[in-house]
């Protein structure tokens, strides 16, 4: 759908002409339009979809347990298809913006709660229903909302500021739209100057991310309400390339996930030309196999210090290494994608390391859900 949005949109519109109440068609049109910037249309289709159905059950024969997954209708959920597979768990996905009295009055049985609302930018609309559910809940909860709230771009910069071996670029939330001249002045009042990155709210993957390298460029810039400004640091390596490392944490333990090496500052794995350049893949293999040797003792210690500050069960961090060995944080939050490589055999070397992450998640879920059952059995025996 994301690869070919135009024909997908035509197809889903055709579906709605035949069945105007088709929830899946409205869901997918909402996603297409949100990614295309057509927010009002996206909101309409979300209302049409989740106004009809806001709770979905993925059945699983022989399920280990039933997991209640709290979701947002907007883009900003933890990608959980690989982390919490339907082959292992019975999943009840609840879109919290549309939670109703009927839902609360007839909550299904479940063994644990996974809060998949990982983007702080979209969490506010779900907060009342989420807090109401958690006030009633007696089961283990993964990724508590109050911990997620500390991973906004602005909050994470403050949270990590002062940690030895870490550079967390200053960030500022622009609540109101700013025109040319006004934006630069507003940022100067906050002690921020070029070079700066400006990105729209709830944007991911570098979409509409802009770099203003000089005050002249910044003076001509504008932004919409809810944008984020972030100090830019040139993290180019000695060989002229930019590197972005991703480490995923499960239960506080770090797992290397990938290394992207690009020819420009906007580093993303799929656009970094990793497939056609063997030397890049060889370097990624070294990172996956021996992260401490690649990053160095100081950076590994910095990651451990960061982990003690981020109180999430599952999350990830994207970062680079500066020349002095310090770790430059790009972002740290729960929305990091973890998946096995199924379509490119050249990248299959990553799969054993992905499997370690998936196994760690399964173990964490099993341990946390078993504990209340054991405690209950002890109470009954006593």
Where do the DSSP E strands lie in the chain? Answer: 55-58, 65-71, 89-95, 112-115, 141-142, 166-167, 171-174, 196-199, 210-212, 227-231, 242-250, 253-262, 314-321, 327-333
pLDDT at res. 208: 76
Compute the average pLDDT of residues 354-360: 98
- Residue 37 has which token pair? 């910037």
pLDDT at res. 160: 95
| CA–CA separation, 373 and 382 (whole Å) | 14
| Whether residue 371 has pLDDT greater than 80 | no
Rg of the chain over all Cα atoms, to the nearest angstrom: 22
Strand partners, 281: none
SS3 call for 53? coil
pLDDT at res. 279: 97
| Whether residue 66 has pLDDT greater than 80 | yes
pLDDT tens sequence across 114-160: 999 999 999 999 999 999 999 999 999 999 999 999 999 999 999 99
Using pLDDT thresholds of 50, 70 and 90, give the confidence band for residue 34.
Answer: confident
Q: Is residue 97 within 8 Å of residue 122, measured between CB atoms? A: no
pLDDT at res. 376: 54
- For residue 331, what are the contacts with CB-CB under 8 A and spacing of at least 6? 153, 156, 317, 318
| CA–CA separation, 321 and 167 (whole Å) | 10
Q: Is residue 58 within 8 Å of residue 86, measured between CB atoms? A: yes
pLDDT tens sequence across 210-235: 999 999 999 999 999 999 999 999 99
Pairing of strands 227-231, 171-174: antiparallel
- For residue 15, what are the contacts with CB-CB under 8 A and spacing of at least 6? 22, 25
Compute the average pLDDT of residues 230-250: 96
pLDDT at res. 270: 84
| CA–CA separation, 381 and 291 (whole Å) | 47
Q: Is residue 38 within 8 Å of residue 26, measured between CB atoms? A: no
- Residue 362 has which token pair? 């399964």
pLDDT at res. 382: 53
Using pLDDT thresholds of 50, 70 and 90, give the confidence band for residue 36.
Answer: confident
Percent of the chain at pLDDT exceeding 70: 95
Place of tokens 């958690």: 134
Closest CA to 266 of 346, 221, 208, 200: 208
Answer whether 0.75 is exceeded by the pTM.
yes
Mean pLDDT of the chain: 93
| Whether residue 55 has pLDDT greater than 90 | yes
pLDDT at res. 317: 98
- For residue 297, what are the contacts with CB-CB under 8 A and spacing of at least 6? none
Place of tokens 């990651």: 303
């Amino acid at each position: 759908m994301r690869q070919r949005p135009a024909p997908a949109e035509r197809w889903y519109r055709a579906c709605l002409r035949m069945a105007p109440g088709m929830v899946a068609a409205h869901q997918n049109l909402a996603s297409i339009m949100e990614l295309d910037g057509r927010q009002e249309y996206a909101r309409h289709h979300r209302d049409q979809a989740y106004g009809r159905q806001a709770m979905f059950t993925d059945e699983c024969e022989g399920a280990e347990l039933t997991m209640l997954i709290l979701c947002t209708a907007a883009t900003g959920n933890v990608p959980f298809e690989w982390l919490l597979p339907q082959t292992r768990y019975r999943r009840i996905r609840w879109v919290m913006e549309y939670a109703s009295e009927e839902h609360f009055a007839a909550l299904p049985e479940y063994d644990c709660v996974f809060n998949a609302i990982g983007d702080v930018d979209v969490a506010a609309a779900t907060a009342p229903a989420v807090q109401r559910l958690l006030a009633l809940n007696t089961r283990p909860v993964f990724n508590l909302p109050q911990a997620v709230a500390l991973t906004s771009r602005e909050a994470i910069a403050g949270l990590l500021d002062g940690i030895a071996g870490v550079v967390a670029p200053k960030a500022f939330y622009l609540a109101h739209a700013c025109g040319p001249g006004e934006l630069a002045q507003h940022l100067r009042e906050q002690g921020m100057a070029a070079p700066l990155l400006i990105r729209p709210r709830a944007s991911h993957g570098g979409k509409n991310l802009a770099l203003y390298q000089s005050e002249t460029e910044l003076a001509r810039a504008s932004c919409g309400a809810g944008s984020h400004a972030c100090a830019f640091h040139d993290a180019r390596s000695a060989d002229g390339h930019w590197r972005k490392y991703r480490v995923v944490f499960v239960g506080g333990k770090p797992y290397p996930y990938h290394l992207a090496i690009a020819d420009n500052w906007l580093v993303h794995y799929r656009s970094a030309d990793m497939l056609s350049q063997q030397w890049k893949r060889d370097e990624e293999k070294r990172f996956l196999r021996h992260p401490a040797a690649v990053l160095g003792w100081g950076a590994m210690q910095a990651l451990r210090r960061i982990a003690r500050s981020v109180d999430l069960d599952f999350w990830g961090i994207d970062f680079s290494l500066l020349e002095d060995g310090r770790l430059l944080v790009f972002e740290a939050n729960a929305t990091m994608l973890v998946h096995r490589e199924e379509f490119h055999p050249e990248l299959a070397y990553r799969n054993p390391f992905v499997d370690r992450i998936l196994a760690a998640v399964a173990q964490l879920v099993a341990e946390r859900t078993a504990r209340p059952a054991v405690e209950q059995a002890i109470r009954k025996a006593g």
